[in-house]
């Protein structure tokens, strides 16, 4: 049985084909908030296939014991291959992603690449994982982090949500993803809203100044500092711009003991009012 979600009087911009033993696990994530609206509007298409429907024995088996012995059960190739063949026959070719802890680590670069594709199959594992030959049926393997989930469904949901956010029309404003974390190899700058003073922690006055050029510059600088402190690995992958080099030089000068006391307290986000 193949289940279809979404209102499809227009072709979706992107369609996710889920191959999973637990299609119902996606009900909430695909029916709520941003994704729920995008699916209902037909911008995002979602189709769900359960490989158990392609098992050929009377027990509808999808797994078996590992060859050579060992704990647990392994997802076998034939039902998965038949499910993937069925998807290709019914709806045409698609990019096939196997969710796996040994895959390449999903990051915003992968997300952007996937967002340019019209159809993505997400193959979700369970139990002790897949027969190695399932790998050969897919175009790539992706992991969402260096930890082990019980199944690929939550990983697939992460892929869907991160990719869907980049599809035009899914977020309220097309600009919403432009300055956020990882869009330029930097974390996002600190954000504040009212009240201006919360238990003595005050919004930096520059954000209330109305000087948009100065605010933009402050935000870029904060994003740079935050990245240097929290994610030095990003700094190595996305080297400092000319502007950032100037800030680094200024910071080095400020850090020298004779000028440190003169540092502007406003440079500290959410600084405490004395």
Ligand X SMILES: C[S@@+](CC[C@H](N)C(=O)[O-])C[C@H]1O[C@@H](n2cnc3c(N)ncnc32)[C@H](O)[C@@H]1O
**144 counts as binding ligand X under rule CB under 6 A:** yes
In the list 151, 190, 267, 271, the residue contacting ligand X (rule: CB under 6 A) is 151
Strand pairing category for 2-5 and 44-49:
antiparallel
Region class of 210: left (phi > 0), else alpha (psi between -120 and 50), else beta: left
Supply 145's token pair. 């982090």
Distance CA 248, CA 212 (A): 23
Residue 156: CB minimum distance to ligand X, A: 8
Out of 15, 20, 50, 100, the residue judged to bind ligand X by CB under 6 A: 100
State yes or no: residue 110 binds ligand X (CB under 6 A). Answer: no
Specify the 3-state DSSP secondary structure of 6.
Answer: coil
CB of 71 to ligand X, least distance (A): 9
Which DSSP helix (H) or strand (E) runs through 213?
helix 212-230
Asked if 23 is part of the footprint of ligand X (rule: CB under 6 A), the reply reads no
Between 146 and 258, CB nearer to ligand X: 146
> 118 or 151, CB closer to ligand X?
151
Can residue 12 be called a binding residue for ligand X (CB under 6 A)? no
* Residue 63 CB partners (closer than 8 Å, separation 6+): 73, 74, 75, 76, 126, 127
Q: Nearer Cβ to ligand X, position 61 or 135?
A: 135
Q: Where do contacts with ligand X occur on this chain (CB under 6 A)?
A: 99-102, 124-126, 128-130, 143-145, 147-152, 155
């Amino acid at each position: 049985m193949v289940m279809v979600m979404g209102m499809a009087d227009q072709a979706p911009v992107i369609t996710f084909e889920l191959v999973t033993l637990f299609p119902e696990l996606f009900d909430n994530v695909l029916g709520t908030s941003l994704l729920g609206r995008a699916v209902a509007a037909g911008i995002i298409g979602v189709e769900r296939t359960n490989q158990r429907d392609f098992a050929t024995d009377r027990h509808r088996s999808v797994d078996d014991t590992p060859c050579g012995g060992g704990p647990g059960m392994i997802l076998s190739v034939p039902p998965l291959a038949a499910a993937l063949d069925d998807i290709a026959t019914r709806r045409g070719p698609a990019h096939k992603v196997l969710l796996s802890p040994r895959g390449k680590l999903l990051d915003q670069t992968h997300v952007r690449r996937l967002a340019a594709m019209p159809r993505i199959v997400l193959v979700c594992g369970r139990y002790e994982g897949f027969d190695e030959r399932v790998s050969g049926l897919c175009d790539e393997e992706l992991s969402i982090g260096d930890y082990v989930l019980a199944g690929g469904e939550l990983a697939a949901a992460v892929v869907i949500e991160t990719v869907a956010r980049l599809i035009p029309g899914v977020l309220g404003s097309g600009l919403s993803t432009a300055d956020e974390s990882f869009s330029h190899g930097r974390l996002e700058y600190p954000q504040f809203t009212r009240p201006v003073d919360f238990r003595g922690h005050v919004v930096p006055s520059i954000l209330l100044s109305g000087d948009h050029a100065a605010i933009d510059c402050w935000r870029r600088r904060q994003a740079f500092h935050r990245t240097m402190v929290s994610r030095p690995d990003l700094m190595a992958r996305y080297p400092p711009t000319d502007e950032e080099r100037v800030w680094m030089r200024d910071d080095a000068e400020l850090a020298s003991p004779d000028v440190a006391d003169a540092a502007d307290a406003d440079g500290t986000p959410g600084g405490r009012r004395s």
